[in-house]
Amino acid sequence: MKLDIRNLHVSVGGTEILKGLSLEVGTGEVHAIMGPNGSGKSTLAHILAGRSGYEVTSGTVTYNGENLLEMEPEQRAWAGIFLGFQYPIEIPGVNNSYFLKAALNAKRKYLQQPEIDAIQFLKLVKEKARLMKMDQSFLNRGVNEGFSGGEKKRNEIFQMSVLEPTLAVLDETDSGLDIDALKTVAEGVNRLRSDDRAFLLITHYQRLLDYIQPDFVHVLADGRIVRTGGRELALDLEAQGYDWVTTGT
């Protein structure tokens, strides 16, 4: 796994939001991205997942050597990219577990693997739901339909644990979680951590990083990475706010 973002410029409706962002993520690494509201963190996450409506005016994004920006969202998923949404979407009437099975099988089809059989799938999701401390009844509800904020976030990590991505971009998955849920979510991430996977954690709170220890911490401000450091950077940010890193850049 290798993600390479170089000098990325992205605009929405004529307004430049990412202004020359560069970032390299290698296999096995966990990167945390912090930064003020409106600095472009979710924009970056959306660009990586292939959301339309953004204009990439210059720069490149390669994923395992391929031009990521040319791939459709579903192709990116098949290639192992997962986006945990800051605001997961409710899709009434689309059954959670039916949807997840379709997602899993779409990827399997791409990998030329046979479809997962119903019993095996049920076993898999039940096990993952148990690990995420999610009630079984959530499996048969509409995707995020009527879920509480925290339940939606938990559902994102549950989906991630079933789909087993190689690069997971988690956009503020920790926001709005109570302390137990935060631990469960962190455990979910830690369970998946391995040498052939990588994580991009977007967060406002260093608290998350107590549970998921990152290899790098970046500060994204005004559309650029303005600072990169280790875990200790997050502690400094927590204590001092963003001003000391953003001024003078």
Partner 1 sequence: MAKQQETGSFDAMLYRQASEALDRRFPATRWLAPLRKHALERLAHSGFPTTRDEDWRYTNLKQVVLRSGEFLKRSTREKQSAARRVAKSELNRLLLPGLTDITLVFVDGVYQPELSSSPPPGSGMRIRTLATVDEQEREPLLETLGALAGIEGCQVTAFSTAFLTDGLVIDVEADAHVPAPVYAVFLSRTADISTHPRILMNLAANSSACLIEHHKSLHPCLSSSITEIRCADHARLKYFKLQQEHHSAFHLASQHISLADSAGMQAVHLDLGSALSRNGLNVKLNGDHAKARLHGLFLADASSHVDNHTRIDHQAPHTRSEETYRGVIADHGRGVFNGKIIVHRAAQKTNAQLTNANLLLSPGAEIDTKPELEIYADDVKCSHGSTVGRIDTNALFYLRTRGIPEQEARRFVIRAFGGEIVSRIPVPHLYRPVSDILAARLEHADSKPGPKQ
Ligand X SMILES: Nc1ncnc2c1ncn2[C@@H]1O[C@H](COP(=O)(O)OP(=O)(O)OP(=O)(O)O)[C@@H](O)[C@H]1O
Which residue from 52, 112, 137, 247 is in contact with partner 1, where contact means CB under 8 A?
52
Segment 154 to 183, residues that bind partner 1, using CB under 8 A:
159, 163
Q: How far apart are CA 149 and CA 50, in angstroms?
A: 24
Of the candidate spans 50-58, 124-132, 173-181, 200-208, the one that interacts with partner 1 by CB under 8 A turns out to be 50-58
Residues with Cβ within 8 Å of residue 243, at least 6 apart in sequence: none
Distances (CA, A) of 113 to 104, 156, 160, 161, 219: 11, 24, 19, 19, 40
User: Contact between 42 and Mg ion (CB under 5 A)?
Assistant: yes
- What is the closest distance, in whole angstroms, from the C-beta atom of residue 173 to ligand X in the complex? 12
- What is the closest distance, in whole angstroms, from the C-beta atom of residue 74 to partner 1 in the complex? 5
Which residue from 73, 150, 176, 229 is in contact with partner 1, where contact means CB under 8 A?
73
- What is the closest distance, in whole angstroms, from the C-beta atom of residue 209 to partner 1 in the complex? 25
- What is the closest distance, in whole angstroms, from the C-beta atom of residue 41 to Mg ion in the complex? 5
User: Contact between 93 and partner 1 (CB under 8 A)?
Assistant: yes
Q: How far apart are CA 171 and CA 59, in angstroms?
A: 22
Which residue from 35, 50, 214, 223 is in contact with partner 1, where contact means CB under 8 A?
50
- List the one residue out of 25, 43, 26, 33 whose CA is nearest residue 174: 33
Q: Which of partner 1, Mg ion, ligand X, none does residue 110 bind (CB under 5 to 8 Å by kind)?
A: partner 1
Our CB check for Mg ion shows the closer of 100 and 172 to be 172
Q: Is 29 helix (H, G, I), strand (E, B) or coil?
A: coil
Distances (CA, A) of 232 to 140, 220, 238, 247: 42, 16, 10, 19
Asked whether the beta carbons of 85 and 171 are under 8 A apart, the reply is yes
- What is the closest distance, in whole angstroms, from the C-beta atom of residue 55 to ligand X in the complex? 11
Q: In 50-170, which ranges are continuous DSSP H helix?
A: 73-78, 96-110, 118-131, 149-163
CA angle, residues 55, 173, 241, in degrees to nearest 5: 80
Chain residues that interact with partner 1, rule: CB under 8 A: 49-52, 72-74, 76-78, 81-83, 85, 88-89, 91-94, 99-100, 102-104, 106-107, 110, 142-143, 159, 163
Chain residues that interact with Mg ion, rule: CB under 5 A: 41-42, 86
